Amino acid sequence: MVDGNGRLVPATDDELMEVEGLLENEKRETHIVADTGQALGCISNEVSPSGMPQLESSEGLSQSENTEADTEKLSAYLEETVPSGAKSSSDDHVTQSGRVGECLKPLDGPLEGGSSTSTGCISSKPDFSKLKGEICLDNLSIKELHEVFKATFGRDTTVKDKLWLKRRIAMGLTNSCDVSATTFVIKDNKLVKKDNEDGFNNVNLGAGKEHLAVAVEYNEDLLNNLSSQIDEHQTTSEVRLGNNVVENNFASEDLAADQRAAKRVRKPTKRYIEELSEAESKEYSGRSIASTKSIGFRPLSSKAHARPARNVSLEGRTVITRLDSLGGFGIQVPCVYRIRRSRPRKNVTALLKFHPSGMGMTATFIKKGFDVHGSQMDNGSMNKVLEAKSTPEQAPEQFVAESKKETTPTDMGQNMGLKYVDPSGDTSDDNVVTVPTAKGGIRRKHHRAWTLSEVMKLVEGVSKYGAGRWSEIKRLAFASYSYRTSVDLKDKWRNLLKASFAQTPTDKGANSRKHPSMPIPASILLRVRELAEMQAQASLPNLSTGKLSACGGGSVNETRPGYL
DNA sequence: CTTAGGG
DNA sequence: CCCTAAG
């Protein structure tokens, strides 16, 4: 969106999102770090009673100060040299600036060291981090984070960066947008995110408690509503943001991002490049489909500029990649990343072999730790969820308000790719493998595990637009994910239906026990069932209604009032 | 091209 | 997921 100094190109939604995300991230990190120092003790335990009050205060703070404060903080952070942030930040927000100073140390240490224990909370803002889900993520070890990651996205990740993992997970659980999107109101996001996560965990455990289920559902609904609202307001907010905030912060953000990347990510340049290229290509495709067709090369130029680029070579590559994706004529370039694309898994494996020190180990633990951690996490999450119940009320309002401002339901995938390259290539692009078989070119798509967020989006889309309007759903609700064709959506929905109906009856033992492999968010299934019922009613009022209702009534919850 | 259904 | 048929 920004070319050189000014912004030549109209910012696309995605791009804006990215920027926002960056800002958000920066800000968040700062806050988090600071908070960590202050409230670490609280976090470790359960929720402290005092937490609530603090939360409120934090909200007010964040809302009012946000724009200015964040920027200032950011700058302070960047400077690193001046921990106290005496300069600009001191104005109104003495407290915050002070924190910023504190955070600097912790932040740098862990990141550089890489192995250092707990950096603090990733996603959290300072105050409420104590309360909520943040805590969970924070306390988790990398190993555990990997586990969660896998549960959330359905795949392993080689990323060792805790922060990254946390954020990613949070995004996934939040249904994507929230985490990256909210510049100002982190709190809401946090809450929401946290709730979801908790719910998720609980479901998996299958404690068999009705209350839990209810709570989860409630949260989800909230989330969905929020997200939908966000969608509506997306355009508006983006524009606003772009004019005001982005401009100011953009440069600094970028720098910060780069710095951070350098510190925490020690991955092969190659990978980085690849990811970048992928993200771009995706974005491009998404762009054309979703909003503007006219923009052909803009994305490209914007991207290149956006990334200050640490290495010349890197930049050059990026450009090339883009060309390839765009025109399809860049023949030479493709080979580099193509390799990886074709064989994602295999490549990963190969990487592991080559770099036994880092990745190989990680992979090992993940498997190992899965079961063990599951129990721990679940227990912890349960408590949290219960507590969370009280919070929801306040969350919605703010969140909504925030959403208007910020927004960004775009895709996390792109954002992620740009910000931090994802080694595993989760969101951005796994690989669409093209297998050149003897036959003449079979394109095997290499299964892409459906993430929780994706499923949630799908469900939402169906609820909104109705099942069978897959193209609509794909375009509107699902614009973020470039892969996932309408057919895919349909198939997934079919599976979900099947699963939901199959599983409904046994609430207690059977359903909960399914810790292995792919976790099945029970709440989601429930919703799926509801939707299915509704649709069935719509189409075949008489016959099917009776059938379905009879079926559904017996088991879990009936239809939820007021949704859709 | 999009949807539905079978494999 | 892939592939095919039908509107």
The amino acid present at A420, given as its one-letter code, is: Y
Please give the Cα distance from A214 to A513 (Å, whole number): 19
State pLDDT tens for residues A458-500. 988 888 888 889 999 998 888 888 888 899 999 999 988 888 8
Which residues have Cβ atoms closer than 7 angstroms to strand B?
A 467-472, 486-487, 490-491
Residue bearing tokens 């985490």: A179
Contact, A87 CB vs strand C, < 7 Å? no
CB A556 within 8 A of CB A526: yes
Query: In this complex, which residue's CA is closest to the C1' atom of nucleotide B5?
Result: A491
- Distances in Å between the alpha carbon of A257 and those of A121, A127, A414, A420? 18, 24, 15, 8
Please give the Cα distance from A200 to A493 (Å, whole number): 19
DSSP, res A560: P
Contact, A445 CB vs strand C, < 7 Å? yes
Nearest to A76 by CA among A98, A109, A47: A98
Structure tokens at A411: 């895709």
Q: Where are the alpha helices (DSSP H) in A242-311?
A: 247-264, 269-290, 298-306
Show the low-confidence residues of chain A (pLDDT under 70): 1-140, 145, 148-149, 151-155, 165-166, 168-446, 503-521, 538-564
**Can you give the pLDDT at residue A153?**
66
Helices A394-405 and A186-205 meet at what angle, rounded to 10? 130
Structure tokens at A489: 């959506």
Contact, A353 CB vs strand C, < 7 Å? no
Structure tokens at A295: 């923009």
CA of A497 to C1' of B5 (A): 15
CA of A491 to C1' of B3 (A): 11
CA of A174 to C1' of B5 (A): 33
CA of A456 to C1' of B6 (A): 26
Residue A449, nucleotide of least CA–C1' distance: C1
Residues contacting A118, CB < 8 A, separation 6+: A36, A110, A138, A139, A141, A162
Positions in chain B where some atom is under 7 Å from a protein CB: 1-7
Domains located in chain A, CATH noted: 13-268+359-419 (no CATH), 452-554 (1.10.246.220)
DSSP, res A356: I
Residues contacting A282, CB < 8 A, separation 6+: A413, A414, A417, A428, A429, A482
State pLDDT tens for residues A26-54. 333 333 333 333 333 323 333 333 333 33
Contact, A487 CB vs strand C, < 7 Å? yes
CB atoms within 10 A of CB A561: 5
CB A128 within 8 A of CB A55: yes
Question: Which neighbouring-strand residues pair with A508?
Answer: none
